[in-house]
C-alpha cells in the first residue's frame, strides 16, 4: 500500500518537473543543431559559388546550333465518330449509377449497429420529426 502524505506528491511533482525540463532542453538542442546545419549548408553553397565563379571567369561563346531539317507534320489520329463517344458516355453513366445504388438494403438492426448510421438516424429524427417542445403534448 502506498504511503499517503505530501512525500509521494512531492516526488511525483519533482519527477514531472524533471521530465518537462529534459524535454525543453532536448527541444532547444534540436533547434540549435538545425540552425547550425543550415548555417554550414549556406557557407558550403557560398564556397561553391565562389569556386564556380573563379573557374568560369573566361567567357566562351556557346556552340552554334546545328541546322534542323524541316519535319513533315505528323499524321493526325482519326477522330472517333460522335456515335462512339455517346456509347462510351452511356457506359460510364451506367457504371457510375450501378456503383452508387446499394446492392440490397441492410436490415434495420444492422444499420443501427453502425455508429455513423445511428448518428444519421438521430439527426433525421430531429429534422423530420416534431420539435421537442411538442412531442409529449396533445394537440388541443
User: Out of 44-48, 111-115, 126-130, 134-138, which region has the weakest mean confidence (pLDDT)?
Assistant: 134-138
- Give the pLDDT confidence score for residue 72 in this predicted structure: 61
The answer to whether position 95 is within a domain reads no
What are the pLDDT digits (tens) for 8-28? 888 888 899 999 999 999 999
Q: What is the pLDDT of residues 67-123, one digit of tens each?
A: 766 666 666 666 656 777 788 888 888 888 777 666 666 677 777 778 888 888 888
Is pLDDT of 1 > 50?
A: no
Check the CA dihedral 51-57-60-65 and report its sign. Answer: positive
Specify if 99 maps to a domain. Answer: no
Q: What is the pTM (predicted TM-score) of this model?
A: 0.30
With respect to residue 71, please indicate whether it lies within any of the assigned structural domains: no
Q: What is the mean pLDDT of residues 37-49?
A: 88
Query: Does residue 123 lie within any of the structural domains?
Result: yes
User: Among candidates 128, 127, 106, which has minimal Cα distance to 117?
Assistant: 106
Q: Answer yes or no: is 24 within a domain.
A: yes
> Would you say residue 72 lies in a domain?
no
Is the predicted pLDDT of residue 60 greater than 70, yes or no? no
Q: Which domain holds residue 110?
A: 104-140
CA distance 46 to 38: 12
- Our measurement of the distance from residue 74's CA atom to the centroid of its chain's CA atoms, rounded to an integer in Å, reads 42
56 domain-assigned: no
Q: How many domains does the structure of the chain reveal?
A: 2
Say if 135 falls within a structural domain.
yes
Amino acid at each position: 500500500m502506498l504511503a499517503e502524505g505530501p512525500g509521494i506528491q512531492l516526488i511525483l511533482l519533482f519527477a514531472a518537473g524533471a521530465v518537462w525540463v529534459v524535454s525543453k532542453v532536448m527541444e532547444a538542442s534540436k533547434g540549435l543543431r538545425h540552425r547550425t546545419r543550415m548555417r554550414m549548408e549556406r557557407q558550403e553553397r557560398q564556397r561553391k559559388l565562389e569556386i564556380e565563379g573563379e573557374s568560369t571567369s573566361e567567357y566562351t561563346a556557346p556552340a552554334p546550333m546545328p541546322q534542323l531539317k524541316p519535319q513533315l507534320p505528323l499524321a493526325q489520329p482519326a477522330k472517333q465518330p460522335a456515335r462512339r463517344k455517346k456509347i462510351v458516355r452511356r457506359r460510364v453513366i451506367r457504371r457510375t449509377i450501378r456503383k452508387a445504388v446499394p446492392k440490397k438494403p441492410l436490415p434495420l438492426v444492422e444499420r443501427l449497429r453502425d455508429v455513423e448510421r445511428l448518428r444519421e438516424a438521430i439527426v433525421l429524427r430531429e429534422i423530420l420529426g416534431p420539435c421537442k417542445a411538442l412531442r409529449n403534448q396533445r394537440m388541443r
